[in-house]
Structure 1
Amino acid sequence: MSNIEEHVFKQEGYQLHMIPTKKYKTNTIAVKLKAPLNREGITKRALLPYVLQQATSNYPSARAFRTALDSLYGAVLSVDSSKKGEDHVMTFRMEIPNDEMLSADESLLKQGLDLMNEMIFHPKVDGKELDSTIVNREKQTLTQKLKSLKDDKMSYANTRLIDEMCKEEPYRFHVHGYEEDLKDINAENLYAYYKEMLESDDMDIYVQGNLNPEDVKQLVSATIKRSNNPERSKNGTTQQAAPSEVKEIIEHQNIQQGKLHLGYRTSIRYGDEDYYALQVFNGIFGGFPSSKLFMNVREKHSLAYYAASRFESHKGLLLVFSGIDPNDYDQAKDIIEKQMEAMKAGEFSEEDVQETKKLVINQLRETMDNQHGLIELMYHQVLSGASVTPEDIIQNVERVTHEDVLQVAKKVALDTVYFLTKEEGGNE
Structure 2
Amino acid sequence: MKITKEKMLEKKGYRLHILPSKKYKTINIVAKFKSDLKKDWMTKRALLPMVLQKATQNHSSPRQLQSALENLYGTILSSDGTKKGENHVISFRMEVANEAYLNDQTPLLEEALHLLHDVLFNPKTENGAFDEKIFNREKQTLEQKITSIKDDKMSYANMRLIDNMCKEEPYSYHVHGYPEDLEKLTAADLYEYYQTFITTDLLDVYVIGDFDESETERLMDKYFTREQSSNDTNITQNSTTPNIDESQEIIEQDELNQGKLHLGFRTHTTFGDEDYYALQIFNGLFGGFPSSKLFMNVREKHSLAYYAASRFESHKGLLLVFSGIAPNDYDQAKTIILEQVEAMRKGEFSEEEVEQTKELVINQLLETMDSAQGLIEILYHQVLSGHMIEAEELVNNIRYVSKQEVIDMAAKIELDTIYFLTSKEGGAQ
Q: Tell me the TM-score normalised to structure 2 length.
A: 0.97
| Structure 1 residue runs without a partner (length 5+) | none
Give the structure 1 partner of residue 315 of structure 2: 314
Measured after TM superposition, the shift of residue 242 of structure 1 is 5.0
Contact 2:250-2:419 at 8 Å conserved across structures: yes
> What are the equivalent positions in structure 2 for 1:275-286 lying under 5 Å apart?
275-286=276-287
Q: Is the 8 A contact 1:242 1:265 kept in 2?
A: no
Structure 1 segment 79-158 matched on structure 2, within 5 A = 79-158=79-158
SS in 2 for 1:367: helix
Q: Distance in 2 between matches of 1:139 and 1:327?
A: 40
Deviations 1:160-217 (A, max 9, x none): 0000000110000011111221111111000000001012100011101001322211
> How many aligned residue pairs are there?
426
What SS class does the counterpart of residue 330 from structure 1 fall into? helix
Unaligned runs of at least 5 residues, structure 2: none
Aligned to 1:349: 350
1:254 positional shift: 1.1
Q: Find the aligned partners of 1:107 and 1:118 in 2 and give their Cα distance.
A: 17
Deviating beyond 4 angstroms after TM superposition, the runs of 4 or more aligned structure 1 residues are none
Question: After superposition, what is the alpha-carbon deviation per residue over 1:330-350, rounded to whole angstroms, capped at 9, x for unaligned?
Answer: 000000000000000111110
1:227 aligns to 2:227 (yes or no): yes
1:138-170 CA-partner distances (Å, limit 9, x unpaired): 000001111111110000000000000001100
Q: CA deviation at 1:43?
A: 0.3
- AA aligned to 2:358 is K
Residue 370 of structure 2 is matched in structure 1 by: 369
Once residues 79 and 383 of structure 2 are traced to their aligned partners in structure 1, the CA distance between those partners, rounded to angstroms, is 19
Equivalent-residue separation in structure 2 for 1:40 and 1:94 (angstroms):
29
User: Percent identity among equivalent residues?
Assistant: 55
Map of 2:251 onto structure 1: 250
SS at match of 1:13: coil
Question: Is the contact made by 2:51 and 2:134 (CA closer than 8 Å) also made in structure 1?
Answer: yes
Note if 1:67 corresponds to 2:31: no
Superposed displacement of residue 105, structure 1: 2.2
After superposition, the CA RMSD in angstroms is: 1.2
Shift of 1:233: 5.0
- Secondary structure at the counterpart of residue 129 of structure 1: coil
- Distance in 2 (CA, whole Å) between partners of 1:307 and 1:57 is 49
- SS of residue in 1 equivalent to 2:236: coil
Deviation at 1:392, TM superposition (A): 1.4
Deviation of 1:25 after TM superposition, in Å, equals 1.0
Partners of 1:258 and 1:326 within 8 A in 2: yes
Deviation at 1:87, TM superposition (A): 0.7
Alpha-carbon offset, residue 373 of structure 1: 0.7
Q: CA deviation at 1:241?
A: 4.2
SS in 2 for 1:40: helix
Give the Cα separation in 1 of the matches to 2:164 and 2:309: 20
SS at match of 1:250: strand
Q: Deviations over 1:307-326 (max 9, x none)?
A: 00000000000000000000
SS in 2 for 1:226: coil
Q: Following the alignment from structure 1 to structure 2, what is the Cα–Cα distance between the partners of residues 233 and 141?
A: 34
Counterpart amino acid of 2:21? T
Mapped to 1, the partners of 2:111 and 2:84 lie a distance apart of 30
In the TM superposition, what whole-angstrom CA distance separates every residue of 1:221-262 from its partner, at most 9, and x where no partner exists?
122231225223522423324522111000001110000000
Contact persistence 1:309–1:321 (CA under 8 A)? yes
- Conserved? CA contact 2:278–2:405, under 8 Å: yes
Are 2:47 and 1:47 aligned?
yes
Match of 1:267 in 2: 268
After TM superposition, the structure 1 stretch with the greater mean CA deviation from structure 2, 43-52 or 143-152, is 143-152
Report if the CA contact (8 A) 1:7-1:18 is conserved. yes
Asked whether the 8 Å contact 2:8–2:18 carries over to 1, the reply is: yes
Instruction: State which drifts further: 381-390 or 325-334.
Output: 381-390
Give the whole-Å Cα distance in 1 for the aligned partners of 2:426 and 2:95: 53
Distance between the aligned counterparts of 1:278 and 1:345, measured in 2?
Answer: 16
CA distance in 2: counterparts of 1:398 and 1:304, whole angstroms: 32
Q: Contact 2:86/2:316 (CA < 8 Å) preserved in 1?
A: yes
| Secondary structure of residue in 2 paired with 1:103 | coil
Structure 2 CA distance, aligned partners of 1:341 and 1:259? Answer: 22
Question: Which shows bigger deviation, 385-394 or 87-96?
Answer: 385-394
Are the aligned partners of 1:19 and 1:206 in contact in 2 as well (CA < 8 Å)? yes
Question: Structure 1 residues 183 and 236 mapped into 2: Cα distance closer, same or farther (>3 Å)?
Answer: closer
Counterpart-to-counterpart distance in 1, 2:390 and 2:130: 40
Give the aligned residue type for 1:13.
G
1:24-35 mapped onto 2 (5 Å cutoff):
24-35=24-35
Q: Which amino acid aligns with 2:342?
A: E
Residue 32 of structure 1: SS of its match in structure 2? Answer: strand
Is the alpha carbon distance of 1:425 and 1:6 closer, same or farther for their aligned partners in structure 2, counting shifts above 3 Å?
Answer: closer
**Residue type of the partner of 1:16?**
L
Match of 1:169 in 2: 169
Secondary structure of the equivalent of 1:125? coil
2:191 aligned partner, one-letter code: Y
